[in-house]
Amino acid sequence: LIERIGDAGKRLHTGRSRNDQVALDIRMYLMDETADIEEMLIHTLNVLVDLASDHTETIMPGYTHLQKAQPVTFAHHLMAYFEMFKRDLSRLRDCRKRTNVMPLGSGALAGTTYPLGFDRITNNSLDGVSDRDFVIELANCLALVMMHLSRFCEELILWSSNEFSFVEMDDAFSTGSSIMPQKKNPDVAELIRGKAGRVYGHLMGLLTTMKGNRRCRLSCKERIAFQRGTRSCRKNGILFNRTRQST
């Protein structure tokens, strides 16, 4: 860069350090990922409302302890998940506010005297480069999203079984059996349930990493693990892109 633009290239890192740049990169990445997950949650909410509107008079048994208890409408049952995902959306939006803070200027830990011209920056330089609360908070929000997805998928798995026969999963989200052709396995729903544990594990891993470190920078492996966790939430939203066709 210095060869191409001269002395201006020498000032590229003025007032900046790898420490605060890593902190900034993580914040920027998570804000983008959070926005994508929010969009998928909004889509899921819209699909649930549309489905509920079509089934306001569809009566189904309500269960407690997996025993038939009281009659409810299918719409009422779906709207219970609407409320869960609506809370998830609210938590993610609130979490993004605390992620949207500029740490540049914190340097390695004690700050810099160069004015960088940002409106909202971290109040303490040492905290600015060591803070990963926003990462843990987002992981917690995503763990709740995955818990709600897992609950929903468990019901889809039960409802699609012969014993219930409430819904039929679309072929795009099911697989067959090589020796039992009568089977239609709800594999996508089962995979989402399984991936919930992965996100829980990332949350515990982050908490364990941070519990004794005053200044902690996520390692490459830890960053990759967290990226995979957010991608799991993003990919699992695919199930609901065609919810109408699969119920």
Q: Active site includes 106? A: no
Q: Is the dihedral of CA 168, 173, 238, 228 positive or negative?
A: positive
Q: Catalytic one among 53, 90, 161, 177?
A: 177
Q: Active site includes 65? A: yes
Report whether 193 contacts 153 (CB < 8 A).
yes
Residue of 89, 92, 120, 90 lying closest to 104 (CA atoms): 120
Q: Catalytic one among 65, 130, 148, 165?
A: 65
Structure tokens at 173: 């989200």
List C-alpha distances in Å: 227 to 31, 32, 218.
12, 12, 12
List C-alpha distances in Å: 60 to 65, 164, 169, 245.
16, 11, 18, 19
Instruction: Return the active site residues.
Output: 65, 177
